[in-house]
Structure 1
Amino acid sequence: MKNIYSLAILLFLIGFSRQVVAQDDAAELAKKLANPIASLISVPFQNNTDYGIGELKGTRNTLNFQPVIPISINENLNMITRVVLPIVSQYNITGRGEQQGGLGDAVVSAFFSPTNSKKLTWGVGPALLVPIGTNDFLTTKKFGMGPTAVALKQMNGWTVGGLINQIWSVAGAEERPDISQMFIQPFFAYNWKSGAGIGANMEITQNWKSSTTTIWLNPTVSAVTSLGKQKASFGLGPRLNLAAPEGGKADWGWRAVFVLLFPK
């Protein structure tokens, strides 16, 4: 039933993107949305559902609340703040018949970026791991920090770039293992003037303490439209788990994204 529901959403999105009335600013909004450090206030809701995880064939649903707020420091410099707050529900992951749900730990980033980047758009700053998870299985119980950076180039409808951060734990519960973890996200997208687009990213997480690597490939189709006066974007696509720690790989998954846009 869930598979039928996912397919129905995909077909609806593809059909909907073809019927979107072209807006004068649709292409510009799509271009900014493809740029993680654009001067655009956005509130994304990214839902990831993964099936067949591990030996128990568990299921995990993660709704990431990801507000992005740019702040003008001066005429030459912006600070773009990003928050990733996961809301997790999982079954048959920690044990047969066991279920957990609640908030996971949040990652808060701030990118300092030049306002007039001509050839290459880039930003650097700090990333913080905030242990606000509400379940012992969904939190590290460690406060962490480290550097983050993003760089991208946009031309002729294309966006190509990558994001990286490295976080080390600096405080928290002594009984929990220390954290040294790198996250790498290469991405690309192509957007038409209508605001419709295709793209993909890879999410690579390297845990240096346990010497394990997790890799997801996320291709998506997307569309920018108006809901009344509210600008918004929709996206949908499969999730492919290319690598995972032993016993933790998923068979398949899907991603749906809804973004509220607040252009200046």
Structure 2
Amino acid sequence: MLTSRLLTCAGLCLLSSVAMAQQADDAADLAKKLSNPVAAMISVPLQFNYDQNIGPLDRGHRFYTNIQPVVPVPIGDDWNMISRTIVPVVDQSDIAPGSGSQFGLGDITQSLFFSPTQPTSGGVIWGVGPAFLIPTATNDLLGTRRWGLGPTAVVLKQDHGWTYGFLFNHIWSVAKVAHDREHPDVSSTFLQPFLSYTTPTAWTYTLNAESTYDWKTSQWAVPLNFTVGKLTRIGGHPVSFTGGVRYWAEHSDTGQKGWGFRFVVTFLLPQKR
């Protein structure tokens, strides 16, 4: 009888260990997919940012939340269209002498990536498509007052926990909001090289540079971001928590300077093939 109970306990412990290992593998796989901008997975990141030393007098502050839903749409068996939307909600003050404070919606950026469902024979994952700038800002100091359009692309590779690649877009203004005569036209390049490592326990360490070049003013803005994230489950649903810092290695005359901070909560809805 005692031997039978011991064997039963040992079997239950073994099954529990296997289940825990499977859950850890699933979490690590989801965390790895989260590092891929064109993964076939619905995700809703809520990205909270803080920057300081804004404006010619370095007195400005900005707190903004980017709501960034990512939705894959299958196109046949071999392709996906990945919709990536950035909806900024901004609270800022003193970004220019006498500017006061503003709170509201910024301009929305909408990107559509057409990406093969499988990597190339060399393991490269890629996607290309259009990017749109939509003048949804609720205040003149929160947006460009311009409709914009241009190309976007992403290329990356994932290997042994590592993810590395870059994301690119360029947007030209194509029309202005009616009666606006104050805002300049837009010609802006965004380049984001990124490198991340995901551990078997679903921790992800990321380094990237969200570089922007303004062709109208011939100025770079280059924040270097370092973040640490952990994917876990709440009520059985996968959620990722990420926090980190950034340093503005290059900035425009009136842009952010010094250090900034970022915290991200990402809700995931994995897609089954």
Length-normalised TM-score, structure 1: 0.89
Distance across 2 between alignment mates of 1:178 and 1:96: 24
Amino acid at match of 1:130: I
The change in CA–CA distance for 1:177 and 1:52 in structure 2 (over 3 A counts) is closer
Which residue does 1:95 correspond to in 2?
A: 97
| Pairwise CA distance, 1:246 | 1.4
Query: In structure 2, what is the Cα distance between the partners aligned to 1:241 and 1:184?
Result: 15
Say whether the 8 Å CA contact 1:234–1:259 is kept in structure 2: yes
1:79: how far off? 0.4
Verify: 1:217 aligned to 2:254, yes or no.
no
Q: Does 1:142 align with 2:146?
A: yes
Q: In structure 1, what residue type is equivalent to 2:167?
A: L
Is there any run of 5+ residues in structure 2 with no aligned partner, and where?
1-21
CA distance in 1, matches of 2:148, 2:244: 31
Unaligned runs of 5+ in 1: 1-20
| Match among 52, 60, 73 for residue 75 of structure 2 | 73
Structure 2 residue aligned with 1:250: 257
What residue is the counterpart of 1:59 in the other structure?
61
Q: State the Cα distance separating 1:97 from its structure 2 match.
A: 7.2
- Answer yes or no: is 1:111 the counterpart of 2:113: yes
Deviation at 1:22, TM superposition (A): 5.5
2:34 corresponds to 1:27: no
Aligned residue among 127, 137, 141 for 1:133: 137
Aligned counterparts of 1:235 and 1:124: Cα–Cα separation in 2: 27
Following the alignment from structure 2 to structure 1, what is the Cα–Cα distance between the partners of residues 117 and 192? 23
Equivalent residue in structure 2 for 1:121, among 102, 120, 125: 125
Give 1:197 deviation, angstroms: 1.4
Query: Distance in 2 between the 1:201 and 1:85 partners?
Result: 21
Read off the aligned partner of 1:69 and give its amino acid letter: V
TM-fit CA distance, 1:62: 1.1
Structure 2 Cα separation of the partners of residues 213 and 24 of structure 1: 40
1:98 Cα offset (Å): 1.0
Are the equivalent residues in 2 in contact too, given 1:83–1:108 (CA < 8 A)?
A: yes
Residue 51 of structure 2 aligns to which amino acid in structure 1? D
User: In the TM superposition, what are the counterparts of 1:199-238 in structure 2 within 5 Å?
Assistant: 199-238=206-245
Q: Contact 2:52/2:58 (CA < 8 Å) preserved in 1?
A: no
Q: Name the residue aligned to 1:161.
A: 165
Give yes or no for contact 2:52–2:256 (8 Å, CA) kept in 1.
no
Percent same amino acid among aligned pairs? Answer: 46
The AA in structure 2 aligned to 1:149 is A
Output the amino acid matched with 2:93.
Y
Contact 2:213 2:220 in 1 (8 A): yes
**Shift, 1:212, TM fit:** 1.2
Q: Distance in 2 between matches of 1:170 and 1:179?
A: 8
Larger radius of gyration: 2
| Contact 1:22–1:195 (8 Å) recurs in 2 | no
Aligned-partner SS, 1:25: helix
Number of aligned residue pairs: 244
Cα deviation, residue 154, structure 1: 0.2
Residues in 2 aligned to 1:247 and 1:84: alpha-carbon distance in whole angstroms: 23
Find the residue that maps to 1:23 and give its secondary structure. Answer: helix
Q: Given that residues 146 and 167 in structure 1 are in contact (C-alpha distance below 8 angstroms), is that contact kept between their aligned partners in structure 2?
A: yes
Which residue in 1 is equivalent to 2:43?
42
Partner Cα separation in structure 2 for residue 196 and residue 235 of structure 1 = 9
Please list, as runs of the form range in 1=range in 2, the aligned pairs for 1:188-203 lying within 5 A after superposition: 188-203=195-210
RMSD between aligned residues? 1.4
Distance 1:229 1:97 in 2: 47
Give the whole-Å Cα distance in 2 for the aligned partners of 1:95 and 1:46: 28
Partner SS for 2:265? strand
Shift of 1:96: 4.8
Shifted more, 195-204 versus 154-163: the winner is: 195-204
Amino acid at match of 1:124: V
TM-score (norm 2): 0.86
